[in-house]
Amino acid sequence: MVKASPLFIGSDIYRRSSYGPGHPLRVARVSTVMDMARALGWLPADRFRTSPRAKPAALWLWHDPAYVAALELAEAAGAASPEMQSRFNLGTLSNPVFPEVFRRPATGAGGVMLAAELLATTPGAIHVPGGGTHHGLPGRANGFCYLNDVVLGIKVLQRAGLRRIVYVDLDAHHCDGVELAFAGDPQVRMISVHEEGRWPFSGGLDDSAGGCAFNLPVPRGYNDTEARAVLEGLILPRVAEFRPEVIVLQCGADSLTEDPLSRLSLSNRAYLEALRALMPLCPRFLVLGGGGYNPWSVGRLWTAVWGVLSGQELPDRLPDTASAVLRGLGWGGGGRPAPDETMLTTLLDPPREGPVRAEIRDRLARLARR
C-alpha cells in the first residue's frame, strides 16, 4: 500500500494566543514544537500544512449550532453574558473568554478534520499537536476544551467510509467528551489510561461505554515500567484484535513527571515506545496533542513525536538552535522554578523505570477478562 509522506499540521495562531495570565494554558506549546522541529531541520516546507479554521457549519457535525454561535459571539464581544456562562460554560476560570476564543479551537478542529480527510484518501501519518481537546461537549465548553476536535476528526473518518477506528488516549485526564460521543458505537474502540481520582472523575475500570471502551485508571507515580506493562498487556492486544483501519493517538503531555496538573511519573520515552509499537498496526495514523502544562516538557515530547513519525534520528544532545528555543520559554507568570539544564539541552528524558505495582497488575488482569 502506497503511503503519503508524514505531514505536520500547525498554525501561527498559537504563537500569539493565550488563555490569559492566570490560566495553565498561558504557556507556549504548539509554536514551540514548530520552532524546535524547524531548528532541527525536521520540518521542510513540503511536510508542513497550515491548519484551516473550521467553519461553523463544519463544527455542527457534533457541536450544537447554538453553542457554536455563542462561542463566536463571545469572541466578538470579548466577554460572556451570565446566560452564556450558565448555559455554555463560557467565561469561567477553566474556560475563559480570550481574544481568540473561537478562532483558536476552530483552528485546532480544522487541522484535525483536514488530517482525517487526507488520511481517508491516502494512508500515512499526520501530526496535529494543536488537536487533542478531548473534554469538549456538544453544547458546552469543558476542561479547557471549547470544541472536541477528536470527535470531529473521527466523525470525518466515519463519513469517509472508515469503519474500524481505534482511539488511544495517554493524557493524564480521562477523555470524557470522546467517550460520550462514541459510547455504544461498534465502529470505534476507545482505550484510555489516566490518573485515578483526577478530574473529570470519569473513566472507571468498569466503565466500558457500552462495550466500546477500555478504561484504566492508574495510581499516582505511574512509571515507565508500568506504562510498558500497560502497553503490552492492554493497548497492543486490544488494538490488534480490532484490526483498525486508522489509529488516533492522543499524546497529552500531562502524564510526564514535570507536569503541574497531575501526579504521574512518565518520561517522554514511554510515549515514544507506545508510538513506535502502534505505528506498524495500521496504515493510517493520526497523532494529536492534548493536555500538558509545562512548556519545556510538552515542547520536547511533541517534537520527539514528530521526529519518530517522520523517521528522524533523535539526538542525544540538542543543537544550539533548538536549545535556544527552549531557553526562550517561560511560565508566563507565577512562581514556578525554571527547568534544570538537561531539559534545555536534550530531547529525551532519562528513563523513569520502577516496580509494576499490584494494583496495576490486578486492573490489567480484570480488563483482560473482558
Catalytic residues: 135
Task: Please report how many Cα atoms fall inside a 13 Å half-sphere around the Cα of residue 46, on the Cβ side.
Answer: 2
Phi, psi of 334 (to 5 degrees): 85, 175
The answer to whether 87 and 137 are in contact (CB under 8 A) is no
C-alpha cell at 351: 528513563
Task: Please report how many Cα atoms fall inside a 13 Å half-sphere around the Cα of residue 1, on the Cβ side.
Answer: 12
Residue 175: name the closest of 193, 189, 158 by CA: 193
What number of helices (H) and strands (E) belong to the chain? Answer: 14, 8
Length of the chain: 370
Residue 93: name the closest of 173, 148, 20, 13 by CA: 20
Phi, psi of 21 (to 5 degrees): -65, -20
How far apart (Å, rounded) are the C-alpha atoms in residues 291 and 282?
25
CA distance from start to end of the chain: 33
How far apart (Å, rounded) are the C-alpha atoms in residues 293 and 254?
7
How far apart (Å, rounded) are the C-alpha atoms in residues 345 and 276?
24
How far apart (Å, rounded) are the C-alpha atoms in residues 116 and 110?
10
The answer to whether 98 and 44 are in contact (CB under 8 A) is no
The answer to whether 135 and 176 are in contact (CB under 8 A) is yes
Which residues, in sequence order, are bridge partners of residue 214? 191
